[in-house]
Structure 1
Amino acid sequence: MSKSKLAIRTVLFSMIGNAGLAVIKFLAGFFGNSFALIADSIESLVDVFASILVLIGLRYAERPADENHPYGHGKAEPLITFLVVGFLIISAATIAYQAIKNINTPHPRPENWTLWVLGAIILWKEISFQWVLSRSKRLNSSSLKAEAWHHRSDALTSIAAFIGIVIAIFGGEGFEVADDYAALVAVLFILYNCYLIFRPALGEVMDEDNHVELTADIRKISLTVPGVLETEKCYIRKAGMKYHVDLHAHVNGELTVREGHDIAHALQDTLRNQIPELGHVLIHIEPSE
Structure 2
Amino acid sequence: MSTGKLAIRTVYFSMLGNVLLAGIKFLAGFFGNSFALIADGIESLVDVFSSILVLFGLQYAQRPADENHPYGHGKAEALITFMVVGFLILSAATIAFQAIQNIREPHPAPENWTLWILGAIILWKEISYQIVLSRSKKLHSTSLKAEAWHHRSDAITSVAAFIGILIAVIGGEGFEVADDYAALFASGFILYNCYLIFRPALGEVMDENNYEELTKEIRKIASTVPGIKGTEKCFIRKAGMKYHVDLHASVDGDLSVKKGHDIAHDLKDTLKLELPELGHILIHIEPF
TM class by shorter chain equals over 0.9
Q: Partner letter of residue 7 of structure 1?
A: A
Q: Partner letter of residue 188 of structure 1?
A: G
Give the CA deviation at 1:5. 0.3
What does 1:232-271 correspond to in 2, within 5 Å? 232-271=232-271
* Percent identity between the two aligned chains: 80
Q: Partner letter of residue 97 of structure 1?
A: F
The CA distance in 2 between the partners of 1:248 and 1:50, in whole Å, is: 40
Give the CA deviation at 1:14. 0.2
Normalised by the length of structure 2, the TM-score is: 1.00
What does 1:67-86 correspond to in 2, within 5 Å? 67-86=67-86
Matched residue, 1:105: 105
For the pair 1:171 / 2:171, whether they are aligned, the reply is: yes
Matched residue, 1:23: 23
What does 1:135-214 correspond to in 2, within 5 Å? 135-214=135-214
Q: 1:152-195 deviations in whole A, cap 9, x for unaligned? A: 00001100000000011111111001100000010111011111
Q: 1:43-74 deviations in whole A, cap 9, x for unaligned? A: 00000000000000000000000000000000
Matched residue, 1:64: 64
The CA distance in 2 between the partners of 1:155 and 1:276, in whole Å, is: 33
Runs of 4+ in 1 over 3 A off after TM superposition: none
Matched residue, 1:33: 33
How many residues are matched?
Answer: 288
The CA distance in 1 between the partners of 2:224 and 2:123, in whole Å, is: 47
Q: 1:233-272 deviations in whole A, cap 9, x for unaligned? A: 0000000010000000000000111111001111010100
For the pair 1:216 / 2:216, whether they are aligned, the reply is: yes
Helix, strand or coil at the partner of 1:174: coil
Matched residue, 1:277: 277
Q: Partner letter of residue 217 of structure 2?
A: D
The answer for unaligned runs of 5 or more in structure 1 is none
The answer for unaligned runs of 5 or more in structure 2 is none
The CA distance in 1 between the partners of 2:229 and 2:222, in whole Å, is: 9
Q: 1:58-107 deviations in whole A, cap 9, x for unaligned? A: 00000000000000000000100000000000000000000000111110
Give the CA deviation at 1:31. 0.1
Give the CA deviation at 1:220. 0.5
Helix, strand or coil at the partner of 1:19: helix
RMSD of aligned residue pairs (Cα, Å): 0.4
Helix, strand or coil at the partner of 1:249: strand
Matched residue, 2:230: 230
The CA distance in 2 between the partners of 1:161 and 1:275, in whole Å, is: 44
Matched residue, 2:120: 120
The CA distance in 1 between the partners of 2:45 and 2:194, in whole Å, is: 16
Helix, strand or coil at the partner of 1:266: helix
